[in-house]
Structure 1
Amino acid sequence: AMMSRSIMTRVALNILTVIILLLSGCCDANRKLLVFLIDGFRYDYMDDLQNLAGFREIVDNGVKVDYLTPDFPSLSYPNYYSLMTGRYCEVHQMTGNYMWDKDTMKEFLIGTNPDSRLPMWWDGSEPLWVTMQKLGKRVYMYYWPGCEVTILGVRPTFCEEYVYNPSEKNLIDSMESALNMLKSDKADMAGIYYEKIDVEGHHFGPHSPEIQHAIRSLDQAFQTLNQKIKEKNMRDDINVVLFSDHGMTDLQWMEKVIELDNYIDMTHIIKMMDRGPVVSLWPKQDKFEEIYQNLSTVDNMNVYKKQEIPDRFHYKNGRFVSTLTLVAEPGWFITENKAKLPFWKNGTEEAGGWQHGWHGCIKLVNTFVMLQKNISKNVLTLH
C-alpha cells in the first residue's frame, strides 16, 4: 500500500531522530557519521542487490526501508530541506526548485544562481548541520546544496561548494577526505551529495543502459568506501546513512503537454516559475480572476488559489508560494507551449526527457533510505 501524504515528514523526523541519537552517543560515543544524499535514486534501483556488492554490504550490516515517499512537491530542493530539517515545505519555506520573492524581486533558481545563496530562502528552519555546529560539533560537507549559505548565522566547518553534476572522481575524493576528517577527529559528521543518478534519469530514463551504468559505477564507489573503512580500522567507529530526495517516473514529458498559451494571455502573468508537474504563477491583479477562471477549465490539471491549496500538501503557508499554483495530473507536463519544453538531445534518438514532481500518487517518484552499522533494525520500521 502507498504511504499516506503525512508520512514523509514523519520519516524525515525519524531519520533525524536516528542521526541525532547516533551523534549524541546513545550507542557509542566514539562513532562518527557519514551521510550521503544521492539525487534521484528511485526506490527500486537496488532490486538487483545481489549484483551490487557495495550496496549489499551496507544493507547486510544495517537496515533498508522499502521506500520513502517524498514531500510535496517531489522535487530536489524542497526534499533536500525536508530531509535535513524534518519539516514540511510550508514550514521550512523551501517550496520549489524555482522560487520568487515578490517583495525583493529576487529569484531562487536551481543550481549556482548567486541570489539562491541569500539566507532568506534558507532561514525558515534549522538544518541538521547548523544544529550540530551550534552544539559544538564539526561538520564537513561536499557538494551539498546549501552548505555554502550562511543559515541562521551559521556555516559548516567545511563546505566544498556545489557544482553541477559532481564527477565520480569528485565522489571518490570526497569519500576519502571525509573518512580522513572523521578518522582524525577533525569532523564529527560528513555529508556528501551526488547528482549523477538524477541527471542520467532525466536524460535517458529510469530503465536505460545509462542509468544502469551509473548505478553500477556508484556501487563501485561504495565498494571502495567499504574497503577504505576496513583499511582505516573504522568499522566500529562510523555510521553510514544513505538517502535520496525523490525517484524518477517512466513518463516522458514530451507525450502529454498542457500548453498555457492555449488558455491564457501570458502577458497578463507577472511571473511564472518552473515548468512541469507543479507551476507557480503570479497574474496581474486586474487579470487574476480571469486567469483563474480560464485555467479552471483545463483538463488534466488543477489550479489553486494560495489559500485553497489542499492541506494535505502542507504547502500553502509557504512564504514564497505563488498566488496561483498549477498541479498537473500524473504524467502531464505544464509549460507555456511546446517550444518551451526542456529536453536533451542524447545523440541516439529524438530529443526527450523524464521527470518527477507529481504528488504522492505515483510510486515511481518514491526513493530509498539505508542505514549501516550501529543502528537497530527496530529503530526505523517503514513500509
Structure 2
Amino acid sequence: MGEDVNGKKLILFLLDGVRWDYLDPDYVNLPGLKGIMERGVHVESLIPEFPSVSYPNHYSLMTGLHAQDHGFVDNDMYDVETGKTYPPDSGSEDDKSFWFNEAEPFWITAKKQGKSVFMYNWVGGDVKIQNERPNHFRPYSTVKKIKYFRHDIDDGLQALLNGLYHEGIDDLGHRYGPKSPEVTEWLKNVDLEFSRLTQKLEDFGATDDVNIMIFSDHGMTDVSLSRVINVTSVLPMENIKHVINGYGSRISIWPKDGFEDEIYRLLKNYDRHMRVFLKEDIPVEWYYTNNSRIAPLLLVADIGWYIDTPDFGFYHYDTGIMKGEHGYDPKLKEMHGIFIATGPNFAVNYRSASIRNIDLYQIMCLITGVEALDNNGTWSNVGMFVSGSGLNSASFLVILLIVFIANIL
C-alpha cells in the first residue's frame, strides 16, 4: 500500500459515460459499487455542464468552473483569433498548452501546493498547464482491456497521488446504445474490480484510512437513422468560415463577416427538433456565452435526434452506425452521470438529490488539504456529504486515482 503517512487517502474515480441509472439494481446487479453506495454518499444523479460531453466536463470537475469560464468549451474547438483547432494539428507543447491555460485544474493546484501528482492517461495530464506538469505522467492512449484497468489500480495504490485513464463504457454506449448487452457486461467487469479493490483495502486494514469518490462526466441516449436532421442543403458553405459537428447533438458555426443574420434566418425554423441560437441568446442556465471559443451560431438537437452537416454524415464505427450519443441539454436526465463516495471523511448511508458536477471540486480540495481556487460550485449543495476530523490538515496523504472508462469523442 505504499509508505505509512500520517493522513487519509483519497481515491478518485471518473467513469466516463456512466449514466445515472446504470446503478439501478433493477437494471444490473453491481455488488462492488452497491457496497460503496451503502457505506457512504449517493446522489440521485450528477448534472453535467453544457455541452454534456467529455472534455468540457472533465475540466469542470477538476476546476469547479463552467465551460465558458475554464475555456474547454467542447471536445473539438476552433479559436477564431488564431485559427487554431483542437485537437491540435501539431504536437508542439505550446499548441497543447494553449487550450488548457485558461484555467488551473486540481492536479496542477495540488502540485503547486506541494503534493506529488501522478497522472495516467488523463487528457491534459501530460500537458504543461500554467507552466506546471504533474510530477509523473503517462500520455493518453486508447486501451480498453480490463487487465490494464486492474494493473493501473494496483500501481496507483503504491503512489502518493495518482491519476489514470481507462476507457470502455462510453465507447460501448456509442457503439451499441445505452443499457445494451455490451454495456451491461462491461459494467459487470468493472464492478468486479471495485469489489477487488474493496477487498484489498480490507486485507491491508486500510478501509478507515481511504476515501473513495466515484463520478462520471455525462450520460447517454439512443440515436438512430430515423431521427436525422440534415441541414446540408440549407447551409451556404461559401459564406461560412468554420463548422464543427459535435457528432450530431450540437453544431457550432462561424459565419464569414456579414453573413451571421442570414444563416440564422435560414436555420431558425428549419426543423422543429432543432433549436438555433445566436451566441447572445444561448440559455443563461447553460453558462455558455462568455468565451471567444464559443461559436456565433449554435444548433442543438432535441434528445435522441442527430444533426447532419456537409461532409460529415451519420457517424459510423467499425461495428456499424452509432447507436448512442450525448451532448444534449444537461437538464435532461439521460445526460446525467453518477456520484458516490465512501470513507472516513464521508457521511454514512447518506442519500441526496441531484447536484451539479462543479460542486465536487471543493470536496476534493477540502479532503486533500489543497487550497481551492475561485470556482462556480456551491458548498451548501455538498457540505453535508463530508464528515470526520482533520479535513484541513496539510498532513493528508492523497492518492488520486482517476479512471476514465470511455471512448472520448
**Given the two structures, how large is their TM-score scaled by the length of structure 1?**
0.84
- Aligned pair partner of 1:150 in 113, 125, 128: 128
Aligned partner of 2:17 in structure 1 is 40
Q: Is the 8 A contact 1:43 1:68 kept in 2?
A: yes
The offset of 1:177, in angstroms, is 0.8
RMSD: 2.4
In the TM superposition, what are the counterparts of 1:343-358 in structure 2 within 5 Å?
343-346=316-319, 351-358=321-328
Q: Is the 8 A contact 2:32 2:191 kept in 1?
A: yes
- Range 91-100 or range 40-49, more displaced: 40-49
The alignment status of 1:175 with 2:148, answered yes or no, reads no
- Aligned pair partner of 1:319 in 286, 289, 292: 292
Among all aligned residue pairs of Structure 1 and Structure 2, give the percentage whose two residues are the same amino acid: 34
Aligned partner of 1:370 in structure 2 is 340
CA distance in 1, matches of 2:110, 2:90: 27
The offset of 1:192, in angstroms, is 3.0
Change (3 A) 1:232 1:274: farther
Q: Is the 8 A contact 1:241 1:372 kept in 2?
A: yes
The offset of 1:233, in angstroms, is 3.2
Aligned length: 345
Change (3 A) 1:73 1:170: same
Aligned partner of 2:238 in structure 1 is 267
Q: Is the 8 A contact 2:315 2:321 kept in 1?
A: no
In the alignment, structure 2 segments of 5+ residues that lack a partner are 355-409
CA distance in 2, matches of 1:141, 1:83: 15
CA distance in 1, matches of 2:342, 2:16: 19
In the TM superposition, what are the counterparts of 1:108-119 in structure 2 within 5 Å?
108-109=86-87, 114=91, 118-119=96-97
The alignment status of 1:239 with 2:217, answered yes or no, reads no
SS of match in other structure, 2:46: coil
The offset of 1:339, in angstroms, is 6.2
Letter in 1 for 2:119: M
CA distance in 2, matches of 1:113, 1:58: 43
The offset of 1:165, in angstroms, is 4.3
Letter in 2 for 1:330: I
Q: Is the 8 A contact 2:104 2:129 kept in 1?
A: yes
In the alignment, structure 1 segments of 5+ residues that lack a partner are 1-27, 182-186
Change (3 A) 1:257 1:217: same
CA distance in 1, matches of 2:102, 2:315: 30
Letter in 2 for 1:256: R
SS of match in other structure, 2:212: strand
The offset of 1:60, in angstroms, is 2.6
The alignment status of 1:74 with 2:52, answered yes or no, reads yes
By percentage of residues, which structure has more helix? Answer: 1
The alignment status of 1:341 with 2:314, answered yes or no, reads yes
The offset of 1:129, in angstroms, is 0.7
CA distance in 2, matches of 1:253, 1:165: 27
Letter in 2 for 1:43: W
CA distance in 1, matches of 2:334, 2:85: 30
SS of match in other structure, 1:58: helix
SS of match in other structure, 2:162: strand
- Aligned pair partner of 2:187 in 215, 219, 226: 215
The offset of 1:58, in angstroms, is 1.6
CA distance in 2, matches of 1:115, 1:322: 25
SS of match in other structure, 1:118: helix
- Aligned pair partner of 1:55 in 33, 38, 49: 33
CA distance in 1, matches of 2:143, 2:234: 37
Q: Is the 8 A contact 2:59 2:105 kept in 1?
A: yes
Q: Is the 8 A contact 2:40 2:350 kept in 1?
A: no
Aligned partner of 1:31 in structure 2 is 8
Q: Is the 8 A contact 2:47 2:331 kept in 1?
A: no
Q: Is the 8 A contact 2:268 2:276 kept in 1?
A: yes
Letter in 2 for 1:353: K
Q: Is the 8 A contact 1:38 1:193 kept in 2?
A: no
Q: Is the 8 A contact 2:326 2:335 kept in 1?
A: yes
CA distance in 1, matches of 2:321, 2:87: 24
SS of match in other structure, 2:158: helix
CA distance in 2, matches of 1:362, 1:150: 35
Structure ranking higher on relative contact order (CA contacts 8 Å, 6+ apart): 2
Change (3 A) 1:231 1:180: farther
Change (3 A) 1:165 1:247: farther
The offset of 1:155, in angstroms, is 1.2
**Given the two structures, how large is their TM-score scaled by the length of structure 2?**
0.79
Change (3 A) 1:339 1:306: closer
In the TM superposition, what are the counterparts of 1:283-294 in structure 2 within 5 Å?
283-294=255-266
Letter in 2 for 1:376: A
Q: Is the 8 A contact 1:278 1:327 kept in 2?
A: yes
